[in-house]
Structure 1
Amino acid sequence: MNRKKIIYSILKEVQEGNEPKAVDYELSQGEFADIAQIIKDEGLLSNVAIAGGRIVWLNASKITLKGIEYLEQNSPLSKTYRGLKEVRDWLKL
């Protein structure tokens, strides 16, 4: 699992108004919650809700300035990222 790519994708999708889910990345709810917790702890998104360490809500989340900076620092990923529909193949690159 490439957490850096998953974090990039989650931030990008939230920035575009989408709500990524664990199933989009073929992750368990717990794995997705762990990554969401990292995003929350690092202040990359606001309004990240996590319940019981397994359920994640990103529908009210907004990207923060720190999140935008993360996307900019990882801009080489943007050259190959094509969105959630192709995220599983992209993660394998």
Structure 2
Amino acid sequence: MDNFKAVYKILSTLEKAMDLPEFDISIIDCRALGVSKERWSRYIEMMADVGYIKGVRVSTNITGETIVECNNMRITLKGLEYLQENSIMRKIYNAAKGIKEITPGL
């Protein structure tokens, strides 16, 4: 899965989970996204670093493996803004793509 698609899927799933009392992380874990555990851990770490999510703890064990604890992971306002901006850009891209497909010579 493309990196940005994976990030978008994680964030959009967390946004939908805002209405739920509890969240099942297996919906967006490494197996669900089809990526390695290490790559998934990096996604979570990066999103936490830039403030898109909170409620996670990222550490490294003695062997160098990244450990992610996300018992209370949730999306932040900044994460919601990212989803909004991406949604708008996707609509613009799709509209431009549609115009190009129906307009000869572009």
Same fold (TM over 0.5): yes
Larger Rg: 2
Unpaired runs of 5+ residues, structure 2, are 18-22, 92-106
User: CA deviation digits over 1:17-51, x for unaligned, max 9?
Assistant: 24210101111110101111110111001112234
CA drift of 1:54 comes to 3.3
Shift of 1:2: 1.7
TM-score (structure 2 length as normaliser): 0.63
Q: TM-score, normalised by structure 1?
A: 0.71
Which aligned segments of 4 or more residues in structure 1 are displaced greater than 3 angstroms? none
* Secondary structure at the counterpart of residue 27 of structure 1: coil
- Taking CA–CA contacts closer than 8 Å with sequence separation of 6 or more, which of the two structures ends up with the larger relative contact order? 1
Mind listing any 5+ residue stretches in structure 1 that lack a counterpart? Answer: 78-93
> What per-residue deviation string (whole Å, max 9, x for no partner) do you get for residues 56-78 of structure 1?
3434112111100000011028x
Aligned match of 1:29:
37
Q: Give SS of 1:16's match.
A: helix
User: Aligned residues, how many?
Assistant: 77
In the other structure, the counterpart of 1:73 is 85
Q: Calculate percent identity across the aligned residue pairs.
A: 29
Partner in structure 1 of residue 16 of structure 2: 16
